[in-house]
A = this chain, B = another copy of it.
């Protein structure tokens, strides 16, 4: 089902999932394409980003962002083409970065839309290494983690867009980078292509022992994006004054409720206390000054051009494939930054 020029397909939240989203969670609808009014533009989605935070928006939980309403279009960042525009600064044929969600077409008044120009090189990178995930890695590691040469940095989902970037920046800063990933292929890529010092398969029965062996000097920074077994394996290895930027807990996103015990919170809090650990949760566009984004964009563009940072995408074809692709992402069945080509 390719995009059509006369119909807007959109994916809406049909009901809030308990646990893993299933076929009753999301629904695809076909509606007419709206006409842009004065001061609006019509956008046609070219690339849709899939990111773990989307699972959180399906829940009705107090959070930093409003949940998607029942019947509402799923949230998401896109790269889109301007089809019609009466907005200054945007004309037909421009490519833009926008937050218009899981749909073929959307109207916009230009709020929080970035013009990428007529023919940007690799525009989908604006959804990944040069966008939210890359910036999350950069700001979280450098501003909360404050890596010092010789320190050990551990990050999970190490072949994904955030983890891969954390480890590569850690190496650029003179740290030992230890990744965690699911399976031998990803671990090989993380070490051989991305240049991490080690990568541990979190599915290994002796994962905790392998992690300890890969961190002979303990862990100074744990960049937290998964929670669960990886976090629990990290705790006994944390050094005094360790830092833990917290940007996600993907392994728990599909939990229908709190997991069975034992209660690990005392172990977590006890480690924070005894090892004088700093944890800090952050939401990338809330937690840092706007000026940091420009610094990131300049520095990361340079690193990519010089080949110092490598970046991998997994492209999924067609909006109709997005729901299953998000489930794959939450289960770690992706390999690289997941984007949907519409």
Q: Copies of this chain, how many?
A: 2
Given A261-B260, A262-B259, A269-B249, residue A274 in contact with residue B63 (CB < 8 A): yes
Taking the complex as formed, is A314 at the interface, i.e. its CB lies under 8 A from any CB of chain B? no
Cα distance A64–B238 in the bound complex, in angstroms: 12
The residue on B at minimum CB distance from A144 is B278
Taking the complex as formed, is A87 at the interface, i.e. its CB lies under 8 A from any CB of chain B? no
- Cβ B265 vs Cβ A275 within 8 A: no
Q: Which of A281-302 contact B (CB under 8 A)?
A: 281-283, 286-287
Cα distance A244–B287 in the bound complex, in angstroms: 17
- Cβ B268 vs Cβ A276 within 8 A: no
Binds B, one of A30-38, A74-82, A208-216, A250-258: A250-258
Interface centre among A64, A258, A286, by most chain B C-beta atoms within 10 angstroms, is A258
Taking the complex as formed, is A277 at the interface, i.e. its CB lies under 8 A from any CB of chain B? yes
Given A64-B240, A258-B262, A263-B263, residue A270 in contact with residue B282 (CB < 8 A): no
Taking the complex as formed, is A272 at the interface, i.e. its CB lies under 8 A from any CB of chain B? yes
Minimum distance in angstroms from A122 CB to a CB of chain B = 30
Interface centre among A255, A265, A287, by most chain B C-beta atoms within 10 angstroms, is A265
Cα distance A271–B64 in the bound complex, in angstroms: 10
- Cβ A266 vs Cβ B249 within 8 A: yes
Taking the complex as formed, is A264 at the interface, i.e. its CB lies under 8 A from any CB of chain B? yes
Q: Which residues of chain B have C-beta atoms less than 8 A from A258's C-beta?
A: 261-264, 266-267
Cα distance A61–B273 in the bound complex, in angstroms: 13
Minimum distance in angstroms from A290 CB to a CB of chain B = 16
The residue on B at minimum CB distance from A272 is B281
Cα distance A56–B62 in the bound complex, in angstroms: 36
Minimum distance in angstroms from A285 CB to a CB of chain B = 11
- Cβ B279 vs Cβ A279 within 8 A: yes
Given A270-B252, A278-B278, residue A262 in contact with residue B260 (CB < 8 A): yes
Given A276-B287, A281-B277, residue A263 in contact with residue B266 (CB < 8 A): no
Taking the complex as formed, is A227 at the interface, i.e. its CB lies under 8 A from any CB of chain B? yes
A273 touches which of B248, B260, B267 (Cβ 8 Å): B248
Interface size on A, as a range, is 35 or more
- Cβ A224 vs Cβ B269 within 8 A: yes
The residue on B at minimum CB distance from A53 is B273
Q: Which residues of chain B have C-beta atoms less than 8 A from A231's C-beta?
A: 265, 269
The residue on B at minimum CB distance from A248 is B273
Q: Which residues of chain B have C-beta atoms less than 8 A from A279's C-beta?
A: 272, 277-280
Minimum distance in angstroms from A292 CB to a CB of chain B = 15
- Cβ A280 vs Cβ B277 within 8 A: yes
Taking the complex as formed, is A247 at the interface, i.e. its CB lies under 8 A from any CB of chain B? yes
Q: Can you list 30 pairs linking A and B with CB atoms under 8 Å apart? A: A64-B240, A231-B269, A246-B269, A246-B272, A247-B273, A249-B269, A249-B270, A252-B270, A258-B264, A259-B263, A262-B263, A264-B265, A265-B265, A268-B268, A268-B269, A271-B281, A272-B279, A272-B280, A273-B281, A273-B283, A274-B281, A274-B283, A276-B280, A276-B281, A276-B282, A276-B287, A278-B279, A278-B280, A278-B281, A279-B279
5 tightest Cβ-Cβ pairs between the two chains A and B: A261-B261, A258-B262, A272-B281, A264-B265, A273-B281
